[in-house]
Amino acid sequence: MKTISIALKDLQILFKDRGTLFQLFVLPLLFILVFSGALGAISQADTVTIPTLALVDLDGAEAAQTILSKLQADGSLTVQSYSAADAQAQLDAKKVVGVLTIPADFTRSIQQSQPVTLVLTSAAEADVQVVEAVRLVIESIAADMTLESQIIASLEQMGAMQANAPEEYQLFTTERVLEQAHFQFETAQARPLINIVQSVPQQDEAQEATPDLSQSAVPGFTVLFVFLAAQTTARSIYEEKKIGSFRRLVAAPLSKAELLIGKILPNFITGLVQIAVILAFGSLGLRLLGLTPLPIEKALFGTILIAILLALCSSAFGIAVAAIARTENQISGLSTLLLWGMGLLGGSMVPLFILERFLGPIPMIVPHYWANRALDNLLIRRLSLPDITLELVVLLGFSLLFFAIGLWRFDFER
């Protein structure tokens, strides 16, 4: 009961301080909004855009329709048909990567095996690599059509040469040969003789997909600001020592461990409320703002476990800081240096998948890393609870270590 009384007293003092409440509950949401927008913009900038090609069909016959269908089937382009004037307007407005013009006599020229020119027009300031890729796609389709036309023309010539031969030498009619040739062309398109398959080295399941950068802001700032609340515990103890009320607590019939637990409880309860507010904003608030929300409802039990261990670790760290620091300046300086430094190193401000590429295993030395990894794996990569067992065990280990340091180094005499 004495332990609970100490905790309730500290909670009453805490919730009377509006500045502390702003830092605990409002400031994290502001950080998330700013960073979610910035990281979301970066993520969208990295998205590959399929180029749009304007098609001006002055022919309107079979061969022109074949080019249109093959371009659409290729999948690497978005093809839109326009009149010549509208296509030029789209090009001037930089809404299309180029304009492909099919001449009026295109189909007739193909059927008569006569040379014909397709015109691809691009803007002077267009991306050279994109335009070249578009040209290669069109060139590939044109080459297939040219080969097919030449083969058909050759078969027709062979049929004409056999027309005057005796009937017993005419094994196949020209119509039957051409029908078979068209069938083979269609079969080759549907089931090509040679297929090309691209493969990449296998990766770990957690690294297969790059997570949404805007989502990473919510777990990161949850961890950062919950640990920043550890300063509140350290300052509370210092203030009580300063005014002399801590001596009355030491004189109470409590063990040292019970006394420290009483000082941990307020920060632990506050941390749980803080996590609930931030994650609720990450799930509901971001959805209302049109940003990518976190699917907390799909991993509620695992999220609660992480929240408990995160709040416990932060509270124990506050005791450790209070045990090491001796003055108010030391508490402020040590807390600021350690907590912001650990937050940066542990992936609270830089997404873990980026941080690990440059620092390797170094971030593992801070508890922020394990808390961020647990939340990322559970809420962003959608792993199951057994998959984050290691992260939970390490967080518990850090909590016990910080509490042990506090119990060992804490000055109960003053």
- How many whole angstroms separate alpha carbon 412 and alpha carbon 414? 6
Q: Does residue 318 register a pLDDT over 80?
A: yes
**Higher confidence at residue 248 or residue 45?**
248
Closest CA to 71 of 118, 17, 19: 118
Mean pLDDT of 242-257: 65
DSSP string, 14-71: HTT-HHHHIIIIIHHHHHHHHHHHHHHHHHHHTSPPPPEEEEEESS-SHHHHHHHHHH
Of the candidate ranges 35-39, 96-100, 347-351, the one whose mean pLDDT is the lowest: 35-39
pLDDT of residue 183: 55
Mean pLDDT (whole number) for 262-277: 88
Nearest-angstrom CA–CA distance, 148 and 181: 9
Q: Is the pLDDT of residue 15 over 80?
A: no
196 CB-near residues (< 8 Å, 6+ apart): none
Average pLDDT over residues 96-107: 88
DSSP 202: -
Domain boundaries, the chain: 2-43+212-409, 52-190
Write down the mean pLDDT value for the chain: 77
pLDDT at 61: 87
CB atoms inside a 10 Å sphere around CB 211: 20
pLDDT band, residue 275 (cuts 50/70/90): very high
The answer to whether the CB of 276 falls within 8 A of the CB of 226 is no
Position 301 pLDDT exceeds 90 = yes
Dihedral angle sign, alpha carbons of residues 154, 159, 164, 165? positive
Per the CB < 8 A criterion, the answer to whether 371 and 348 are in contact is no
pTM for the predicted model, two decimal places = 0.59
| Region 147-159 average pLDDT | 61
Highest mean pLDDT among 152-161, 245-254, 301-310: 301-310
Contacts of 145 (CB under 8 A, 6+ apart): 63, 66, 67, 110
Instruction: Give the mean model confidence (pLDDT) for residues 265-282.
Output: 90
Task: Over range 355-382, report the average pLDDT.
Answer: 91
| Range ranked top by mean pLDDT from 6-20, 32-46, 189-203, 209-223 | 209-223
* pLDDT (tens digit per residue) in 369-381: 999 999 999 988 8
Span of 25-39, 78-92, 174-188, 244-258 with lowest mean pLDDT: 174-188
Judge: domain 52-190, CATH 3.40.1710: yes
Question: Does residue 344 register a pLDDT over 60?
Answer: yes
Report residue 134's pLDDT band, with 50, 70 and 90 as the boundaries: confident
Position 197 scores a pLDDT of 44
pLDDT value for 414? 55
Report CA 270 to chain centroid distance, whole Å: 30
Q: What is the pLDDT of residue 198?
A: 39
**CA distance from start to end of the chain:** 24
Q: What is the CA radius of gyration of the chain?
A: 35
Statement: residue 151 has pLDDT above 70: no
Question: In the chain, what percentage of residues exceed pLDDT 90?
Answer: 19
User: How does pLDDT run across 326-338, given as a tens digit for each residue?
Assistant: 777 777 777 778 8
Mean pLDDT of 102-115: 83
Q: Identify the three-state secondary structure at position 221.
A: helix
Question: CA 49 → CA 76, 364, 408, distances in Å?
Answer: 10, 37, 59
Tell me the torsion sign for CA atoms 184, 185, 186, 192: positive
Q: Which residues of 156-192 are buried (b: 16+ CB within 10 A; e: fewer)?
A: eeebeebeeeeeeeeeeebeebbeebeeeeeeeeeee
Distance CA 395, CA 382 (A): 20
Q: How confident is the model at residue 310 (pLDDT cuts 50, 70, 90)?
A: very high
In total, the chain counts a number of residues equal to 414
The larger pLDDT score, comparing residue 236 to residue 319, is at 319
